[in-house]
A = this chain, B = another copy of it.
Amino acid sequence: MVVFSGDLDKAIAAFIIANGAVAMGSKVTILFTFWGLNILRKPEKVSVKKGLVDSMFGFMMPRGSKKLKLSQMNMMGLGAKMIRSVMKNKNITSLEDLIKSAMDSGVEVVACSMSMDVMGIVKEELIDGVKIGGVGYYLGEAEDSNVNLFI
């Protein structure tokens, strides 16, 4: 899978599919690129030396899964809160637990190196256990894979 989007709803969909596929015995690799990188950011500010543009990007983009917006009906964050609260009330695993569960069960979470370069994000700013890889690595895995999605 390629996760290009950094929307809360699409991130949830991606990780539900990933967890489902792993449960059914498949090997799953997800390349996080562009806005998708934000899903993998640590929630706390990491002290890194950066240029002005890189700092601006880092400041303007959501830092980590808890800050993601909905792709529709976000209503300044209210929609995102509503979805999270509904999921909790209906006993559906939260995005953070879906990510943890995916990584614990061997889903390969790869941050796109070129996107990290463009957006000025370094490895230290990403959650633990994330690998760094390029489009070549993804394509190699995709060729061997039965199901490919761009989310």
Enumerate chain A interface residues (CB-CB to B < 8 A).
2, 4-6, 9-10, 13, 16-17, 20-21, 23-24, 26, 33-35, 53, 57, 60-61, 71-73, 82-83, 85-87, 89-90, 92, 114, 117-120, 134-136, 138-140, 142-143, 145-151
If over half of A's interface residues share one DSSP class (helix, strand or loop), that class is named, otherwise mixed; here it is: helix
- Does B118 lie within 8 Å of A90, measured CB to CB? yes
Those 6 A-B pairs whose CB atoms lie nearest each other, nearest first: A149-B150, A20-B135, A142-B147, A147-B148, A150-B151, A20-B139
Given A24-B136, A57-B82, A150-B151: 10 more A-B contacts, CB < 8 Å? A20-B134, A20-B136, A21-B139, A26-B139, A53-B89, A57-B86, A60-B73, A92-B117, A139-B147, A147-B148
Question: Within 8 Å CB of A60, what residues of B?
Answer: 73
A46 vs B72: C-alpha distance in the bound complex, in angstroms?
24
Central interface residue in A53, A147, A149, A150, by most chain B CB within 10 Å: A150
Contact of A92 among B5, B114, B147 (CB under 8 A): B114
A145 vs B72: C-alpha distance in the bound complex, in angstroms?
30
Known: A117-B92, A142-B147, A149-B148. A135 touches B35 (CB 8 A): no
- Does A90 lie within 8 Å of B117, measured CB to CB? yes
- Does B86 lie within 8 Å of A118, measured CB to CB? yes
A146 vs B140: C-alpha distance in the bound complex, in angstroms?
11
A-B contact pairs, 10 of them (CB 8 A): A2-B17, A4-B151, A23-B136, A35-B72, A53-B85, A57-B86, A83-B118, A86-B119, A87-B118, A150-B150
